[in-house]
Amino acid sequence: MWYDYTDLAFSPYNEYRRQMRRICVVELLSAKNVKSFGSIRQDEVSILIKSIKTLLMFLSGCRQMGSSSFPSLTTTSKLSSLCMQDMFSAGKETSSSAIDWAMAELMRNPRVMEKVQREVRECLKGKEKDIDVKGLKYLKLVVKETLRLHPPIPVMISVWAMGMDPETFQPERFENSCIDFLGSSFEYLPFGAGRRICPGVNFGLASVELSLAQILYHFDWSLPPGISFPDVDLTEQEGITVSRKNHLFLLPTLYINPSH
């Protein structure tokens, strides 16, 4: 697909690309298809949450049975690394990169973390399936603000430079704004604009919002000892997608719903 620029992302704008884009949108990325994949997304996110819970229970059991038998598991960085690698194994893909950036920004801004977790836990209380993120308004603002500060692929134009003023991570800036992801607002172009806009906008947003909502609902997150909120590294890595250069090490704590 990469030969002679025949893939969808890097092909020149011509009749071939128009047909390729039309096929992708109609057969895979239309709003109807994205909605039909909702149960699959929920199943995959449930598997992710279950794997983190299982890992935490296993490590907790190992410590109770005798930490001397498992010296490597007593290290904070090991626990963090295992959890985050399991969560963000596909770090070069735009959706997982967006979640990674969102978690990093939330850890640097505890006020925002507390506010978005409170919303998620109030809206998703008691819901294991059929989770609808439409009511998570503040979570959507967090995703918007994350993509403003860390656009996935600033290749053709420096959308990073356009959107970095102000630099503060403040999701409330979009609260009473009509700015959207569709490329009509030229001060905000995380997915591009015009005929070259990313055809998978709806697909990517659905994956990011659902995953982030579940991660924030089921776990409380903290930084390893000795690291403060401003110390969270936001250095970017060079590549096709704008991912974080260094791994994000966090400590998850299982959230127990008081009503259960």
Q: Contact 156/193 with Cβ under 8 angstroms? A: no
Confidence band for 4, pLDDT divided at 50, 70 and 90: low
Tokens of 75: 């290290």
The larger pLDDT score, comparing residue 76 to residue 242, is at: 242
pLDDT band at 156 (very low <50, low <70, confident <90, very high): low
How large is the average pLDDT for residues 57-81?
A: 54
Check the annotation: does 123 bind a ligand. no
How much is the pLDDT for 62?
61
Give residue 172's domain range. 37-254
The residue type found at 88 is: F
* Inside any domain, residue 66: yes
DSSP β-ladder status, 236-237 and 251-254: unpaired
173-193 tens-digit pLDDT: 888 888 887 767 777 878 877
Contact, 190 vs 152, CB < 8 A?
A: yes
Q: Which of 151, 147, 152, 131 lies closest to 213, judged by CA?
A: 131
Ranked by mean pLDDT, which of 24-28, 63-67, 91-95, 144-148 comes out on top? 144-148
For residue 171, cis peptide bond before it (omega within 30 degrees of 0) = no
Number of neighbouring beta carbons within 10 Å of residue 158: 11
Mean pLDDT (whole number) for 34-43: 82
How many folded domains does the chain comprise? 1
Give the CATH number for residue 64. 1.10.630.10
What pLDDT was estimated at residue 60?
65
Q: In sequence order, what are the residues at sequence separation of 6 or more whose Cβ sits closer than 8 angstroms to the Cβ of residue 75?
A: none
Which pLDDT does position 196 carry in this prediction? Answer: 74
| pLDDT of 104 above 90 | yes
Binned at pLDDT 50, 70 and 90, residue 215 comes out as very high
Q: How confident is the model at residue 141 (pLDDT cuts 50, 70, 90)?
A: very high
Q: What percentage of the chain has pLDDT greater than the value 90?
A: 17
Give the mean pLDDT of the chain.
77
Report d(CA 251, CA 227) in Å as an integer: 12
What pTM does this model have? Answer: 0.72
Rounded Cα gap, residues 212 and 100, in angstroms: 9
The 10 Å CB-count burial string (b at 16+, else e) for 18-42 is eebbeeeeeeebeeeebeeeeeebb
pLDDT, one tens digit per residue, over 11-36 is 777 888 788 888 877 877 778 888 88
Task: Say if CB 201 and CB 24 are below 8 A apart.
Answer: no
pLDDT class of 138 with cuts at 50, 70, 90 = very high
Position 6 in a domain: no
Please say if the pLDDT value at position 69 is more than 60. Answer: no
Q: Does residue 212 fall inside a structural domain?
A: yes
Query: Is the per-residue pLDDT at 92 higher than 50?
Result: no
Q: How crowded is residue 149: how many other Cβ atoms within 10 Å of its Cβ?
A: 19
Output b/e per residue, 160-182; b: 16+ Cβ within 10 A. eeebeeeeebbbeebeeeeeebe
CA separation for the pair 31, 207 (Å, rounded): 13
DSSP 39: H
For residue 259, being part of any structural domain is answered with no
